[in-house]
Amino acid sequence: MLHIIAIRSGAAAVTPILKAMNDASPQTYSGFVAILGKPNVGKSTLLNQLLNVKVAPISPKPQTTRKSVRGVLSEGDRQVVFVDTPGFHKPADALGEYINRQVTEALADVDIILWLVDLRHPPTPEDELVARVLEPLLGKKPILLVGNKADAAKYPEEALEAYQRLLPGVEARMISALSQRDVERLRAEILALLPQGPFFYPPEHAKSDQSIEDWISETIREEVMKRLRQEVPYAVAVKVEEAAERENGTLYARAVLYVEREAHKPILIGKGGRMLKELGRAARKQLELFLNRPVFLDLEVKVYPNWRKDPEALRELGYN
């Protein structure tokens, strides 16, 4: 069974099973909740903490998340589908435009929005950009301003007020996603806000809607983001060409790491192949920890000239 976290683009496929379930217990509450904010404020960290499972990649670098990831939280008669969005920013290329589109599309059909900000610093023009995206939605659906990184902020109250001024009328609270401070309270608050409605995913199985291929490629890319510096990690796309279970129970996955220029190749591969080996090992460990069985990763590096600027290349590399 490879679909432990994978229910491919969910709701439609599972509707018949759930209909029967909902007929039996009509009093259920459910909703979609978007986690929105500029890059690097801790959106993916918060998603993983809310679910108590790691479903989204995290790194200290901005623009780690490129694709929206759905995470499913089921508790009793309530189900939340969280949508972790990529950091909203001023796009510099076709990839950047794709990323921002992921954000605005996610907003269209959610019930609740969590606007995450970094309390260590006052607002920047990128936070203002996010506030302008949210402005037309204020009053139409609940928007919660969530000041994150309270553990590391010098003047958290002042910072939170400054963010609040960007969207007057928005409700604000603070948390630390990293140290779990007030995450439980936020989870309870979200569950209480859910409108009545049917479950979208079978509660006992689903944690995320990622395919196994996407999950493997994001895990590898996370290790790339953590290890490489400056521009190079941003020039990397990971495509999983094959993911299959072997007879002995091992998960075998073959992935190609695409870089934009020939000069990136030796950096990603490292001296004597050390960098590639090390990041492959770290990704394998993460996958094994979650799947609880052996994983074999076969990694290869190839050049795809200027893929980030080329809409056709983006499609080929999985950014549809």
208 binds ligand GTP (CB under 6 A): no
In whole angstroms, give the CA distance from residue 100 to residue 116.
16
Compute CA distances 265 → 168, 236, 252, whole Å.
48, 10, 24
In whole angstroms, give the CA distance from residue 257 to residue 269.
10
- Of 28, 44, 100, 211, the residue at the interface with ligand GTP (CB under 6 A) is 44
What does the binding site for Mg ion look like in residue numbers (CB under 5 A)?
A: 43-44, 64-65
43/221 with CB nearer Mg ion: 43
Q: Which does 147 bind (CB under 5 to 8 A by kind): Mg ion, ligand GTP, none?
A: none
Q: Which residues contact 309 (CB under 8 A, 6 or more apart)?
A: 93, 94, 95
Q: What's the min distance (Å) between Cβ of 42 and ligand GTP?
A: 3
In whole angstroms, give the CA distance from residue 58 to residue 182.
20
62/197 with CB nearer ligand GTP: 62
156 binds ligand GTP (CB under 6 A): no
Q: Which one of 20-28, 53-61, 264-272, 300-308 is the stretch in contact with ligand GTP (CB under 6 A)?
A: 53-61
Helix (H, G, I), strand (E, B) or coil at 167: coil
177 binds ligand GTP (CB under 6 A): yes
Residue nearest to ligand GTP (CB): 87
150/243 with CB nearer ligand GTP: 150
59 binds ligand GTP (CB under 6 A): yes
238/251 with CB nearer Mg ion: 238
178 binds ligand GTP (CB under 6 A): yes
Q: Is 316 left (phi over 0), alpha (psi -120 to 50) or beta?
A: alpha
Q: What's the min distance (Å) between Cβ of 43 and Mg ion?
A: 5
Helix (H, G, I), strand (E, B) or coil at 145: strand
Helix (H, G, I), strand (E, B) or coil at 262: coil
Q: Give the closest residue to 237 by CA, choosing from 253, 250, 225.
A: 225
Phi, psi angle pair for 206, to nearest 5°: -80, 135
Q: Which does 148 bind (CB under 5 to 8 A by kind): Mg ion, ligand GTP, none?
A: ligand GTP
What's the start-to-end Cα distance of the chain, in Å?
26
- Of 21, 22, 62, 318, the residue at the interface with ligand GTP (CB under 6 A) is 62
45 binds ligand GTP (CB under 6 A): yes
Amino acid making up residue 98: Y
Q: Which does 152 bind (CB under 5 to 8 A by kind): Mg ion, ligand GTP, none?
A: ligand GTP
Q: What's the min distance (Å) between Cβ of 151 and ligand GTP?
A: 5
Q: Are 241 and 38 in contact (CB under 8 A)?
A: no
Q: Are 243 and 216 in contact (CB under 8 A)?
A: yes
**Binding stretches for ligand GTP (CB under 6 A):** 37, 39-45, 58-60, 62-65, 86-87, 148-149, 151-152, 176-178
